Structure 1
Amino acid sequence: MSTIMLSDQNIGVRGRFMRIHVLLIALLCALAGVGVMTLYSVAQGSWDPYATKHLVRFVVALCVLLAVAVTPLKFWLSAAYPVYFLSLGLLFLVPIIGDINMGARRWISMGGFQLQPSEIMKVALVMALARYYHGLEFKKVSTVLGLIPPMAMIGIPVGLVFIQPDLGTAILLALSGLFIVLLAGVSWRWVILGIFAALAVIVFGIQTGLLEAYQIKRVTAFLDPTWDPLGANFHPNQSKIAIGSGGVEGKGYMAGTQSQLGFLPEKHTDFIFTIFGEEFGLIGALGLLTLYFVTFSVGMRIALAAKSHFGRLLAMGVSLTLVMYVLINTGMVMGLAPVVGVPLPLVSYGGTVMLSMMIGFGFVMSVWIHRHQDTLRTPGWR
C-alpha cells in the first residue's frame, strides 16, 4: 500500500489522465445528451436558442472538469478556504452590482457573461466544510466550539442567497452544508435540535412576512392544490397534467401537447423534467432518474474508496448535492414539493449551474485519481 501511495504522489499529468473514471464521464455525457435532446424539442425542432448553447457549454465544462480532475487533491485542499471566501465576496456584491431578472437580483454581469454566485457557493461550501473537518479532531466535532465555525460558514451564504430572494438555492445550500456536518460525525442531538430550529425559522418567516408574498403563495398552493387554479397553482397543475398525460410510454418525441402549445412556464429550465416525462412517459422518466441514481452511486463509491477524510467528505458532498437537486426539482414539478426554482442538473438550460456541477464532479474525479493518499496535510497544518 505504501508503494501505491508513493506512486500517487509522484504521478504525472499523463498518468492522472490514465486514471480518469470513464464510467463517470459517460454518465455525465449521457445526462447532458438528454438535456440537448429535450432542449431541441422545447424549441420545436430547432437547435437555437437552447440546444446548441447547452452542448457547447457542456463541452467547455467537461474540459474544466478534466483540468480540475488532474490537479493534485492537495492543491484543492489548500484552495478550499480561498475559493469559499471568493464566492462569499461575490455573494456580498450581488445586492450592490447584481442584475435584476424576473424580480430577483441573483446575477453579476462579467464581460457579456452572467455569473450566478450562489451556484458557485454550492461547491465552495462543500469544499470549505470538507477542509474544516479534515483538520478537526473527531472529539471536537460535536462540541459547541467545534460547531460554531461550520454553522457560520453555512448560515452566512444561506442568508445572503435568501434575501436575493432565492429560496430554492438557500434550501439547497443549507441542506448541502448540514449533510457534510452530519457525515463528519456530529451528534444526532444537534441534528434534531437543528431540525426544530429550521422549522421555527420557517414558521417565523411566514408569520412575520420575512418570506416574499410570492413565496408564501407557492407554499399555500402546494398545501392546497385547488387554491387559485388560474394563479399560483396554474403552473404546477399544468405540469402534473403534462406528466400524467404522458402515461407509461409517452406521447413521443416532440409530440407533447402541453409543452408544444405553450402551457408550461420555464420549460427549458425548472420544468424541463415535465417536458421529458410527457414525451417519454413513465419509462423514460424512470430511465432518466436511474441515470442520476447511478451517477450518485458512482460518486459515493469513489468517496468510500478515498483514504483521506477531505476526499471522502468532498466526494460525498458533491454527490449528495446532485441528489438534492434532482429530488427538489422532480418533486416540484410533480406537486410533491413547493415551486422553488431549482433546475435539473446537466439537463436544464443554464451556464453557471452546469459549470458548477461539472467542477464539483471534477473534484470527485480528483478524489478518485488520488484515492490511495491517506493524508493530504503538510507540516504546520492542524
Structure 2
Amino acid sequence: MAAVFDKPSLFKRAAPLFEGFDGPLAFAVFLLVCAGLLIMYSSGYDHGTRFVDHGRNMLIAGAIMFVVAQIPPQRLMTFAVPLYTVGVMLLIAVAIFGITKKGARRWLNVGVVVQPSEILKIAMPLMLAWWFQKREGQLRPLDFLVAGVLLVVPVGLIMRQPDLGTSLLVLAAGLAVIFFAGLSWKLIAPPVMIGLLGIFLIVWFEPQLCADGMRWPVLHDYQQQRICTLLDPSRDPLGKGFHIIQGMIAIGSGGVLGKGFMAGTQTHLEFIPERTTDFIFAAFSEEFGLVGNLLLIASFIFLVLRGLAIAMEAPTLFSRLLAGAVTMIFFTYAFVNMGMVSGILPVVGVPLPFISYGGTAMVTLGLAVGILMSIAKAKRLVQS
C-alpha cells in the first residue's frame, strides 16, 4: 500500500523565512512608506514617472531588506573588511579619475556609473563594529585612535569630492559606533564645547564673516555660501536663499491642519525646488500641517527607539554596535533633512528616509532595515 504524503503548502514553506522578524520595526517602516507614497503621489504625479519609480525603488529596497534579514550577524561580520576596503579603494579611484557633474567628482564608471560614497554608509559601521568586536575585553585608548583613523580616511575622501551631506552621514554612523563602544565623556565633551563655541562665534560675527570678499579657510566657496545663506537667507532671496525661504513659507502656510492632500499651492505652483527629493518635507508640511508633521516625527522617533531597543538586546558586541549605528543613520537622515528644510541647518543633499525620491538612498535604507531585522532574528534564536 503506497504511503501518501501531504505536500506542505507554499505558506508553510515560506513561514520560516519570516520567523523572528521584528513586528514593531516593520510597523514603523510601514507607516513611513505609506507617508512617502502619499506625498510622492501629490508632489510627483505630474513630475514624469517619479511616483511609479518611487514605488519601484521601495519594492527593490524591500527585497534587499528581506534577503539581508536572512543573513546571520556572524556572516555579516565577514563582509566588514572586504566591503570597507573596496569602498575606500573606489573613493581613491573617484579622486583620481572619477566623473565630474555640476562641479563635484562623486561618480565612477565601472561598466555602470556608481557613487562609491554610498557604500561607506553601511561599510563604515560594519568595519568599526568588527574592529571593536575583535578588541572586546581588551580595549585601550590606542584602539579608539585606530578607529578614528579608519573613520577619518573615507570621510576625508568624501569631503574632497565635495559631498558634505554624505560625509556627515558616514561620520555620524562611525561616531555612533565609537561612542557606543565606550568612548569616555571626558574625550567627548571638549570637542562638543568647542563646536558650540564656534557656532556662537559664527552667528555673532556673521556680518563680518559673510561680507563680500571674505574667504573662509578649509571650506569650499559653496559650503561657505550655504552657511551664510542659512544665517541670513534674505542676502540673496532669488538666488542661494531661495530654497530656504520657499521651504519655510511652505511649512508656515500649512498651519495646524494643512491645506489638504494635493492642495499645496507652493508645491504645485513649483515654488518649492526639489519638491520630490531634498525638500519633500516642505511639501508634506504644506499639505498636512503641524498635525501631519507631528505624526511623521512620531513615526521616526518610534523607528529610532525600536532600533535602539534591538541594539540593547543584541546577543554580541558586534551586533549591538552595528544596530546602534544603523539606527543613528535613520536619526541623522531625518534630523538633517528636516533641519535644512526648516532653516535651522545648512542645505545639504540628504534625503528624508522612505519619503524622498532616490534609488541609491532607498537601497541603503533597505540594507539598514535588513541588518536590524537580522540582529532581531538572532536575538530571538538565542532566546529560543
Give the alignment's TM-score, normalised by structure 1.
Answer: 0.87
Q: Does 1:38 align with 2:39?
A: yes
Structure 1 contact 307–373 (Cα < 8 Å) conserved: no
Aligned to 2:152: 155
Deviates more, 1:327-336 or 1:290-299: 290-299
For structure 1, the residue ranges without an aligned partner over 5 or more in a row are 1-11, 375-382
Q: Distance in 2 between matches of 1:83 and 1:313?
A: 17
Structure 2 SS opposite 1:105 = strand
Aligned counterparts, 1:248-327, within 5 A: 248-327=256-335
Q: Distance in 2 between matches of 1:39 and 1:284?
A: 15
Aligned to 2:210: none
**CA 232–109 in structure 1, closer or farther in 2 if over 3 Å, else same:** same
Q: Does 1:360 align with 2:368?
A: yes
Q: Distance in 2 between matches of 1:48 and 1:163?
A: 33
Cα drift, residue 92 of structure 1: 1.8
Structure 2 contact 65–367 (Cα < 8 Å) conserved: yes
Structure 2 SS opposite 1:258 = helix
For structure 2, the residue ranges without an aligned partner over 5 or more in a row are 1-12, 203-213
Structure 2 contact 117–158 (Cα < 8 Å) conserved: yes
RMSD over equivalenced CA pairs, Å: 2.6
Structure 1 SS opposite 2:372 = helix
Aligned counterparts, 1:1-382, within 5 A: 15-43=16-44, 45-46=45-46, 48-109=48-109, 114-141=113-140, 143=141, 145-195=142-192, 208-371=216-379
Structure 2 contact 20–380 (Cα < 8 Å) conserved: no
Cα drift, residue 264 of structure 1: 1.6
Q: Distance in 2 between matches of 1:354 and 1:363?
A: 14
The letter for the 1-side match of 2:178 is V
Structure 1 contact 81–128 (Cα < 8 Å) conserved: yes
Cα drift, residue 82 of structure 1: 1.2
**CA 33–115 in structure 1, closer or farther in 2 if over 3 Å, else same:** farther
Cα drift, residue 16 of structure 1: 4.9
The letter for the 1-side match of 2:361 is V
Which has more radius of gyration?
A: 2
Q: Deviations over 1:11-70 (max 9, x none)?
A: x99635311123322322332232222222223x34842111111111111111111111
Cα drift, residue 108 of structure 1: 3.1
Structure 1 contact 251–280 (Cα < 8 Å) conserved: yes
Deviates more, 1:28-37 or 1:326-335: 28-37
Q: Distance in 2 between matches of 1:40 and 1:276?
A: 11
Cα drift, residue 200 of structure 1: 10
Aligned to 1:9: none
Q: Deviations over 1:166-191 (max 9, x none)?
A: 11221222222112111110112221
Structure 2 contact 176–324 (Cα < 8 Å) conserved: no
Deviates more, 1:272-281 or 1:12-21: 12-21
Cα drift, residue 97 of structure 1: 4.2
Structure 2 contact 72–378 (Cα < 8 Å) conserved: yes
Q: Distance in 1 between matches of 2:176 and 2:360?
A: 23
Percent identity of paired positions between Structure 1 and Structure 2: 38
Cα drift, residue 208 of structure 1: 4.8
The letter for the 2-side match of 1:243 is I
Q: Deviations over 1:79-100 (max 9, x none)?
A: 1111111222222222344333
**CA 62–109 in structure 1, closer or farther in 2 if over 3 Å, else same:** farther
**CA 201–251 in structure 1, closer or farther in 2 if over 3 Å, else same:** closer
Structure 1 SS opposite 2:108 = strand
Cα drift, residue 74 of structure 1: 0.8
Give the alignment's TM-score, normalised by structure 2.
Answer: 0.86
Structure 2 SS opposite 1:371 = helix
Aligned to 2:9: none
Structure 2 contact 99–105 (Cα < 8 Å) conserved: yes
Structure 1 contact 32–55 (Cα < 8 Å) conserved: no
Structure 1 contact 115–352 (Cα < 8 Å) conserved: no
Structure 2 SS opposite 1:27 = helix
**CA 340–351 in structure 1, closer or farther in 2 if over 3 Å, else same:** same
